[in-house]
Amino acid sequence: MRPSGKGIQSFMYLQLAQPRQAEIKGIGIDIAPVSKIASLVSRYNSETLTLLFTPREIEQCQSAPHPSRYYAVCFSAKEAVGKALGTGLVDINWNEIESTISQSGLTIKLRGAAKQKALQCGVKAWLATWCYWDDYVMVHVLSKGEQA
């Protein structure tokens, strides 16, 4: 037995309904030369490095198989987050943006002024990824807001 026209319309509506999507608030991309970041890191003592990197990032980078690459990822993530916020790092301390690196991606955690700025911009979550080639790393972040 064939369904009536009314039943078909209801079925088609259900098939075409889209799940709610989170609103993209911003996109940030940064590319950094690993050798340049390695040079920067080697010039500074641990106290000065804590102005740029969180203690957790420093520990993660130092224990990584490629410390310079990991430092470059953390550095680029901070730049990319600033771009995604649309303000750069104005009035945000570098160590208020923390990256946790894994082979499958990157987790971004904010605190202090960085967190406040993100909340003002309506950012609820971050999606981040990274890759490397030759002497470069690239970090790409998306800031997400409420579901539309």
Q: Residues in the chain, how many? A: 148
Is 62 within the bounds of a domain?
yes
pLDDT of residue 20: 60
- Domain-embedded: residue 93: yes
Residue 12 lies in a domain: no
- 49 domain-assigned: yes
Complete DSSP assignment for 56-81: HHHHHHHTSSSHHHHHHHHHHHHHHH
> Within its chain, how far is the Cα of 54 from the centroid?
15
Which tokens sit at 78?
A: 């901070």
- 8 band by pLDDT with thresholds 50, 70 and 90: very low
Q: How many domains in the chain?
A: 1
Is there a domain that residue 81 lies in? yes
Is residue 36 within 8 A of residue 134, CB to CB? The reply is no
Q: Which domain holds residue 59?
A: 25-147
Does 127 map to a domain? yes
**What span, in angstroms and rounded, lies between the C-alpha atoms of 51 and 27?**
25
For the cut 70, the answer to whether the pLDDT of residue 23 exceeds it is yes
Record the pTM: 0.84
In a domain, 44, yes or no: yes
The 3-state DSSP class for residue 125 equals: strand
Predicted pLDDT of residue 13: 40
Going by C-alpha positions, the residue among 105, 119, 49 that lies closest to residue 77 is 105
pLDDT, one tens digit per residue, over 97-115 is 999 998 778 999 999 999 9
In a domain, residue 18? The reply is no
CATH of the domain at 39: 3.90.470.20
pLDDT value for 49: 95
